[in-house]
Amino acid sequence: MTMQSIRRIALFVLLLLPAAATGQEVRVIEHELDNGMTLLLVPRPGDPNIAAGWVAKVGSVNERPGITGVAHLFEHMMFKGTHAIGTTDIEQDLRIIEELDALKAEIRIEEAHLTELQRLGKIDDPQDPDARSPRHQELLDEFEALLARQSELLIKEDFSRVYTGQGASGMNAGTSYDFTIYFVNVPANKLELWFWMEADRLLNPVFREFYAERDVVHEERRLRTDSTPIGKFREQFDAMFWESSPYSWPVVGWPSDISGITREEALAFFDVYYAPNNLAATLVGDFDPDEAIALAERYFGRLPRGARDPFPPRTREMPQLAEKRMLAHAETNPQVVIRYHSVPDGHVDEPALVVLGQLLNGRTGRLYKALVEEQEVATGASGGQAGFKFEGMFELRGTARQGRTPEEVEQAIYAELERLKSEPVGSRELQKVKNQNAASTFRDLEGNFQLMMQLLIRENMRGWETINTDPPLYDAVTAEDIMRVAGKYFTPETRAVAVYYRKGGAAAEDERFTDLDDEERQQVEQMAGMIRQMNEEQLDQMLAGADQMRSQAPPESQDMVDALVELVRERLAELGGGQ
């Protein structure tokens, strides 16, 4: 994950929130190619840059046990180049890849033998070099020698180099449960370059360094999950909450699957989910739409349609019949996380649940006022609806104030939910939330990048048109709707609760985070581990972009940006480069 991905972790979350009424309609030119690929165009004269991106309608929800993490692995592999990019000798490069695959097949046989020995209790660790047979070690040595030969042919970061050499910026990608997005800002006079580059990596990809990239993903998992205070607990909570749904496994994948995915399995996944009939592209900026359509036909039109349209995930979540609880001791402040099964994106009850979450959330929301300011039982509290493509959940969280317990926070949250079930929300309070939502949505529509991202995500979910058709649904939510959905979905038997106690010797609450709500604190803690892994140049780049981060973040997120900047400054000081 690169710097832009780190900065946009929170942005992905914000973009998934439904729009509110803004009084403006987004006008989009839609064009569908013969191969099924969709092109969405929003010309905006006057801006010399174009926000360009495309979405593959595939995420971790489309995986199965055994290949979890493959969608995210492809996010990495799609930057490895093509027949024309990334190598000095494509013929030799392809021959070496074939040899590597053949060797890997033999190595897997040896690895399976070690796994069987561990299952029988004859060895403790199948990764222990001393447990390998002579043949196993011989194969590994041959594999490393081949990798060394291939490295002499490779042009590292060639895909990025071509773009930046022509004035493009911000090239990156992101994988979620439901989609994978690729994006970049290109100068208006380099639009044809974008079409050629993106079509080339879809038509002629070369997934070189496949096995090495699995190790990169392992390291990313270590930073994002294993090295954070509650990362592994959160992963366990996800698996507990979702009994049967594919949302139960992490986007980054289970470690055993990451290590075991073969190139053959990955290519089969690519053939189905990266076919043009499962893709949509968006351009927002200063361009001629007729020229853009002609370029799309010329470059994207060459992509062969998939043999079949991808099927949606078959397995759905089983109805939950009893409360689930998880108790954990971690190096974190005492806190509670409460989840209820709710509804997926587009469900008729989703607008009311989203507005309900906004009534609870934020510094002016009910949870903060009641738990932090009035009862002084918590230092932060938040909650909201998360409507994924096929399932949904409503999550609430709160961090206990010193001297108070997570259980006290939990009961205080339940009390606020009971109020929503029995007392109608006042018209003034309800309208205030709608107005705040409208202002936030207006900001998201102003920037080319934000609009491009919204269109792609919406096209993946229920169609881009929802950017215009959803606002009236949210504006129409009534106090009666709030009471109805609160009573329907907030029931004890449909909830799961995670209670975290401070592990012995853990540090007290970091004073830098006291102004953050619980969700923001979790994001900052996750990024803190990444920041510690950055070199001085990367830290300087992040610090240089602080003003841009502040300008793009909504007012309620400014404290989170300030906390991140402070962490970067502290790390620079440790490395001797502090300002």
pLDDT (tens digit per residue) in 159-171: 999 999 999 999 9
pLDDT value, residue 393: 97
pLDDT value, residue 3: 32
Please enumerate, as own/partner, the contacts of 267-273 that have beta carbons within 8 Å and a separation of 24 or more.
267/207, 269/67, 269/70, 269/71, 269/74, 270/74, 270/205, 271/306, 271/307, 272/306, 272/308, 272/310, 273/56, 273/57, 273/58, 273/62, 273/71, 273/310
Structure tokens at 138: 């011989």
pLDDT value, residue 159: 92
pLDDT value, residue 557: 67
Under CATH, which number does the domain 27-81+169-302 receive? 3.30.830.10
pLDDT value, residue 21: 43
pLDDT value, residue 13: 35
Q: Is the pLDDT of residue 524 over 50?
A: yes
Q: How far apart are CA 516 and CA 26, in angstroms?
A: 33
Instruction: State whether CATH 3.40.47.10 applies to domain 324-438+479-502.
Output: no
* CA nearest neighbour of 112 among 97, 130, 133, 96: 133
| Mean pLDDT for the stretch of residues 175-186 | 96
Strand order in the sheet with 335-341: 324-330, 495-502, 335-341, 392-400, 378-387
Q: How far apart are CA 420 and CA 520, in angstroms?
A: 24
| Mean pLDDT for the stretch of residues 143-149 | 94
Q: How far apart are CA 264 and CA 337, in angstroms?
A: 40
pLDDT band with cut points at 50, 70 and 90 for residue 4: very low
Of residues 334 and 512, more confidently modeled: 334
pLDDT digits (tens, 9 = 90+) for 482-496: 999 999 999 999 999
Of residues 403 and 530, more confidently modeled: 403
pLDDT value, residue 550: 56
Query: Which stretches of 331-465 are assigned E, i.e. beta strand?
Result: 335-341, 378-387, 392-400
pLDDT value, residue 29: 97
| Mean pLDDT for the stretch of residues 341-367 | 95
Q: Is the pLDDT of residue 558 over 70?
A: no
**Phi/psi of residue 338, each to 5°?**
-120, 130
pLDDT value, residue 519: 59
Give the chain's mean pLDDT: 88
Fold matches, 27-81+169-302 and 324-438+479-502: yes
Please, is 26 exposed, middle or buried when counting C-beta atoms within 10 Å of its C-beta (0-12, 13-18, 19+)? middle
pLDDT band with cut points at 50, 70 and 90 for residue 455: very high
pLDDT value, residue 220: 86
Of residues 508 and 228, more confidently modeled: 228
Supply the pTM of this predicted model. 0.84
Q: 201, 173 in Cβ contact below 8 A? A: no
pLDDT value, residue 12: 40
Of residues 445 and 355, more confidently modeled: 355
pLDDT value, residue 415: 98
Looking at the DSSP bridge assignments, the partners of residue 145 are none
| Mean pLDDT for the stretch of residues 373-378 | 96
pLDDT above 90 covers a percentage of the chain that reads 72
Query: Which stretches of 419-558 are assigned E, i.e. beta strand?
Result: 495-502
Residue-wise burial string across 108-144, b where 16 or more C-beta atoms lie within 10 A, e elsewhere? eebbeebeeeeeeeebeebeeeebbeeebeebeeebe
* CA nearest neighbour of 54 among 465, 460, 467: 460
508: region left, alpha or beta (phi > 0 left; psi from -120 to 50 alpha): beta
Enumerate the domain spans of the chain: 27-81+169-302, 87-154, 324-438+479-502, 519-574
pLDDT value, residue 545: 67
Structure tokens at 296: 């799309």
Which amino acid type is present at position 538? Q
pLDDT band with cut points at 50, 70 and 90 for residue 368: very high
CA end-to-end span of the chain: 26
pLDDT value, residue 518: 54
pLDDT band with cut points at 50, 70 and 90 for residue 15: very low
Q: Is the pLDDT of residue 9 over 50?
A: no
pLDDT digits (tens, 9 = 90+) for 407-419: 999 999 999 999 9
pLDDT value, residue 526: 61
Q: Which of 146-150, 184-188, 534-538 has the lowest mean pLDDT?
A: 534-538
Q: How far apart are CA 230 and CA 328, in angstroms?
A: 9
pLDDT value, residue 227: 80
Of residues 375 and 503, more confidently modeled: 375
Q: 369, 338 in Cβ contact below 8 A? A: no
